[in-house]
Structure formats: structure tokens, C-alpha cells
Amino acid sequence: MKKLEIDALFKYTKSQFDKFKDNRADNKQYSMGDAVQSGLAIFSLKDSSMLEFNKRITERAGNLKRIFKINNPPPDGEVRKLLDEIAPVQIERVKRGVLQQVKQKGLFKEFEYFKGYKLLLIDGVHHFSSKKVHCKNCTQKKHEDGTITYSHSMLSAVIAHPEKKVVLPLCEEPIIQQDGVTKNDCALNASKRLLKKVRTRHLAEKFIRVEDALYANDPHIRDIQTEGDKFIIRVKPGSGAGSVIEQYEALLKITDGERAANKKAAAKAHKLYKWHGIEKPIENQPAVHKMEVKEEKILKVYHYVNDLYLNETHKDIKVNFVHYEERSIETGKIIKKFQWITDINLTDTSVVKVAKAGRSRWKIENETFNTLKNQGYHFKHNFGHGHKNLCTNFALLMMLAFLIDQIQQLSNELFVKALKKSEWKKYLWDDVRSFFKTMPFDSMEMIYNAIIYGFKIEYLAIRQSSD
């Protein structure tokens, strides 16, 4: 395993937070670096609230200093005040520095999936909502009774690999009111800003964008191709690319017999098959390739067609189509069904990879955002809203803590062993928190060791620092 250890990463983030611009007057009881690192520590330790962090400051002071390099931990009010002032771009920059180290260790390369391309997925999460508290950045939902719900959401672009449990969040983009725009910001607009960020920050990377049916349209597909990426986008009947499904269904009706017979008769008189107004000899129509794979009690059915067009108005945009279903061999019932368009040339080999990648979208939902929501990150808790950037900065610090945890799961054997011992992430965080509160440790690695092997007092007596 190429290791990028957690303690070195905490040291790095603190050294960067220390450099943040501080506009306060001289009277600074608490440093900016200590305040931002405290925000990160809250999400690293998975404290359930700012109050929990606050309540334990005294008993945790030693470990906060040794592990998180926080010299003088500020109380919650100070953390909020200072975080509210910071431009989110500063925190994003630190996260980029962490990702740079991931690249340097060669860990990024492990995510290559198809001909040097990595799968890029986007999803969002709602992280603040209130009927009273709001700021100029909140998006608003007006209700019939005249009340308004104010909220903050964030989109994240992650790279994923169908065979990996870990995803790496590359960039975030808050869905917030944009300067000079009166209409609510929306996921589609935020995703455009997000992808621009991804492109400028990861120039050398080749991505296959794995996206929702919402994105199966022009000019989006054209944009993807202009940027040199490829796509696998889910399609549904009646959506922007619903016509592709109709083309596939029409082609499916041409039997092999008809194709063969027509080929023979082709020299004499072409029997034309009308298909969306285009009359082409049957033998020249794209063929539906079919493939079946048995896997235990499941029959996996793949149909694929190359060289269709996006829709009636965009016949110049060529797309390939995959229909995938899983059937129970016993009952013949369809258990799952998915359809995608892609610009990857489809063969018996590539179609399997495309379907697998398409299905990996669930990974980001199940393993990124559900991890954030259900495995202790307290994403939906309101840690505070502030007046300027607090809400966004908390969400960014949480994504940074999440990235550091994902790197551990990807590269740190000790973390993997500790997770195995605790069984669930939620229990691992509980174990880390209880050790962190009760015993002095020099490093997070030492806590992982204590979780894996248990500890003896003699072991803990071996200390490197003098305090």
C-alpha cells in the first residue's frame, strides 16, 4: 500500500490554515489556524455538534495539540465567527493541496477504469434549512402560506471505480444565490460551474462523466466532448434522449431473418424500412447486438447499438446505446433494468464495462453521500449559519475531513484493520472519540493501533513528547 498517513495530513492542513489571511486587529486571543483546524477536527472526530466539541475542550486539549496541532482551541462562538469571515476558496485550496499529495503518491492512478479514463460522478446534498435564519446566499422556497424555507446545498464531483469502496471528492460547488442573479440557483447551473472547476484544476486527467437522465441533452453532451471527456448518461423514456430508446426499439423489431432476406434482395429492389422518417435499406440500419451472461441465479442481458442519434433536432450528435437488464433465471422476471447513451464504441467487451460504470452511480449515492449522512458525519446538522460564509465553510471542511478519511481507507493498512475491528464506520468513529477523550496519544495512528491491538498501560507510558 502506498501510504498517505493521516497525521501528516493533519500537520499539512494546520500549516496551511495558519497562512490564512487574518483581518482582525491585534487583539487576537485565538489564532486563525487554530479556529479552522478546530472546524476540521469537529468533522474528523465526528462530533455531533459544536456543543460537543466545546464541552470537551479541556479534557481533549492534549490530544488536540498533539494530533491536530491546535495550540489553543477556541470556543464554539470564536470558531463560528472566524470561519464566517474566511473566503471558501481558501479552504478549497487546502483540499487541492491534499489531492496533489494523493496524485504524487500514485493513488490517483488506481482509479483508471477504461483506456486511461477515470469515472467522474456528481451528486449533491442539502446541508442547511431554516424558516427563520437566512443570508444573501440562501436559496429560497416560497410556500403557499406565505412562509419561506431558506437552504444551502452543495454539489461534489468525485472520482469512483466500480471495484473500489472509496471515492475521492475532487471539487465542490455550493448551490447558492449568485451575484447579480435574482432567480434561485439550481443544480444544473451549479454543475456547470463545478465542471469548469474540475476541468481547470485537473487538466491532465481524462474523465468519463457518469450522469443522470437530467443531463442527456444538447448542449451538455457537446460541451463534454469539446472538453475532451467521454460520457455514460442514463436515459429514460420521454426525456431529452427518449428518442434513442425509440430508435433502439424500432431496430429491435427488425428480425435477423428480415435482415438476411433483405440483404439478398438488396441488389434487385430495396425493401425500405421506415424509421423516424429516414428510409435506409434494412441491412444498412445499425444492428442491435445481443449478449447474455449467466451469473449464479441471475441472467445478465446486454443489448447494444452503435451509431444512433441524440434526437430529432440533433441528428448530428451521434450516440451509442446500451440496454441492460438482470433477470431471475428461475422465474424469468426482470429484476433490474437500465439504459444509457455513451460515446464509447460498444463491443462485447466494452459494453460490460460501460454498464458496470453506469451502475456505479449508485456508489456515489450509497458510499459518498450516504456515508456522510448515515455514518457519523452529521451532514444534515446545522452547525451554524453565520452571516457570510460559515455555512459553506462548514460543508467544505466536512468534505475535507471526508477526503482525508477516504484516503486512509484507500492507502492506510492500519485504518483498514481498525475499521475491520470496529466493523462499521460509525463504531470506528465512536472508538476513536472515546480514546481521544480519555487517554493521551501522540498520533491518530497510535489510536488506530490501540483499537486494533488493545492497549496496556506500559505501552501508553512510552511517550515521545515531554508534556
127 vs 164 by CB, closer to Zn ion: 127
**What are the C-alpha distances in Å from 126 to residues 158, 209, 467?**
17, 22, 43
Q: How far is the CB of 139 from Zn ion (least distance, A)?
A: 8
Residue placing its CB nearer to Zn ion in the complex, 125 or 208 = 125
- 382 versus 449: smaller Cβ distance to Zn ion: 382
Question: In the complex, what is the shortest distance from the CB of residue 385 to Zn ion, in angstroms, rounded to a whole number?
Answer: 6
Does residue 102 bind Zn ion (CB under 5 A)? Answer: no
**Closer residue to Zn ion in complex, CB, 399/451:** 399
To the nearest 10 degrees (0 to 180), the angle between helices 390-411 and 413-422 is 100
In this complex, which beta carbon is closest to Zn ion, that of residue 138 or of residue 195? 138
When the beta carbons of 138 and 403 are compared against Zn ion, the nearer one is 138
Of 128-136, 185-193, 239-247, 444-452, the segment contacting Zn ion by CB under 5 A is 128-136
Q: Which stretch binds Zn ion (CB under 5 A): 51-59, 127-135, 155-163, 222-230?
A: 127-135
d(CA 423, CA 209): 32
- As measured in angstroms, the least distance from the Cβ of 337 to Zn ion is 40
- Alpha-carbon distance of 356 to 378, in angstroms, equals 30
- Per DSSP, the chain holds a count of helices (H) and strands (E) of 18, 13
Q: How far is the CB of 389 from Zn ion (least distance, A)?
A: 10
- Cβ contacts of 423 within 8 Å, gap of 6 or more: none
Query: CA separation (Å) from 375 to 360, 368, 430?
Result: 20, 10, 11
Specify the stretch interacting with Zn ion by CB under 5 A; choose among 131-139, 181-189, 200-208, 261-269: 131-139
Query: Which one, 100 or 140, has the nearer CB to Zn ion?
Result: 140
Rounded least distance, CB 176 to Zn ion, Å: 7
How far is residue 107's CA from residue 85's CA, in Å, rounded to a whole number? 34
7 is written with which cell numbers?
497525521
Which residue, 137 or 411, has its beta carbon nearer to Zn ion? Answer: 137
Q: How far is CA 37 from CA 14, 65, 71, 405, 415, in A?
A: 6, 11, 10, 15, 21
Show the site string, 133-152: x = touches Zn ion by CB under 5 A, - = not: --x-xx--------------
Residue 152 or 164: the one with the smaller Cβ distance to Zn ion is 152
Q: In which region does residue 307 sit, left (phi positive, over 0), alpha (psi from -120 to 50) or beta (all else)?
A: left
Say how far apart CA 242 and CA 236 lie, in whole Å: 6
Q: Find the part of the chain contacting Zn ion (CB under 5 A) among 19-27, 129-137, 404-412, 434-442.
A: 129-137
Rounded to whole angstroms, how far apart are CA atoms 107 and 2? 7
Interface size with Zn ion, residues (CB under 5 A): 3
Alpha carbon distance 213, 231 (integer Å) = 12
Closest CA to 358 of 337, 372, 334: 337
Which class for 28: exposed (0-12), middle (13-18), buried (19 or more C-beta within 10 A)? exposed
**Closest distance to Zn ion from the beta carbon of 125 (Å):** 16
Q: How far is the CB of 136 from Zn ion (least distance, A)?
A: 7
CB hemisphere CA count around 436 (13 angstroms) = 27
Ranges within 265-284 binding Zn ion (CB under 5 A): none
**Residue 79 Cβ, how far from Zn ion at the closest point, in Å?**
18
Q: How far is the CB of 150 from Zn ion (least distance, A)?
A: 6
Locate 272 and state its grid cell: 425500405
Contact of 159 with 167, CB cutoff 8 Å: yes
Distance CA 34, CA 65 (A): 10
Min dist CB 140 to Zn ion, Å, is 9
- Residue nearer to Zn ion on the CB measure, 138 or 354: 138
User: Which spans of this chain sit near Zn ion (rule: CB under 5 A)?
Assistant: 135, 137-138
